[in-house]
Amino acid sequence: MRVCGVDPGLNRTGYGVIRVDAAGRRTALIEAGVIGTAAETDLADRLAELAHAMDEVLAEHHPDLVGLEQLYSHYRHPRTAILMGHARGVLLLSAARAGVSVVSLSPARIKRTLTGNGRANKGQMQRAVMATLNLSEVPEPSDVADALAIALCAGLEAGSGRPTSGRRGRRGRPAELRGTRS
């Protein structure tokens, strides 16, 4: 199975495409990179540029699944949350247009899946990605490492048969949502 992990951002969106075997035990890096947009450009143009670049990644690699980090922003930075929401929406649209299922993953869940610790720091995560993908060095920049971690979490959970969506939160509400093919 091919999985594309995406670390959404308006300035820089990290992406990583990996291959995971059916059992979720063997992984391989296919491609990873950063999609950047210029801060001085109009918001609509930046979103169009992000969508176009993601469309190209999905068209080139034909992933079976896209893993996308859930929106998280501190309440002291509402503008950041709004801009991230715009970028995340465009990325969801690209996946939907490509007919690829999407799984949304919380940062804590990604960390827990890769390290066993839902509060792992950046260095621990980068080393876990490096070890899991058998890379010779830590993936840089951090946007790429985060995207690869997202792809690994989505792929390993899908390969292991563990649910990647529909888990219930403390009050019985869905903890994350999964898009469907249309």
Question: What count of Cα atoms within 13 Å lies in the side-chain half-sphere of residue 99?
Answer: 4
Residue tagged 């509060």 (tokens) = 119
Spell out the residues 6+ positions from residue 57 whose beta carbon is closer than 8 angstroms to its own: 4, 15, 17, 31, 35
CA 3 to chain CA centroid, Å, is 9
Given 42, 60, 69, 137, the catalytic residue: 69
Residue-wise burial string across 13-40, b where 16 or more C-beta atoms lie within 10 A, e elsewhere:
bbbbbbbbeeebeebebeebbbbbbeee
Q: Is 7 a catalytic residue?
A: yes
Given 55, 143, 146, 157, the catalytic residue: 143
Cis before 174? omega within 30: no
Return d(Cα 121, Cα 4) in angstroms, integer.
Answer: 22
Sign of the torsion formed by the C-alpha atoms of 171, 7, 122 and 75: negative
Q: Is 69 a catalytic residue?
A: yes
CB 136 within 8 A of CB 3: no
Q: Is 42 a catalytic residue?
A: no
Residue tagged 């670049």 (tokens) = 53
Point out the residues that are catalytic. Answer: 7, 69, 143
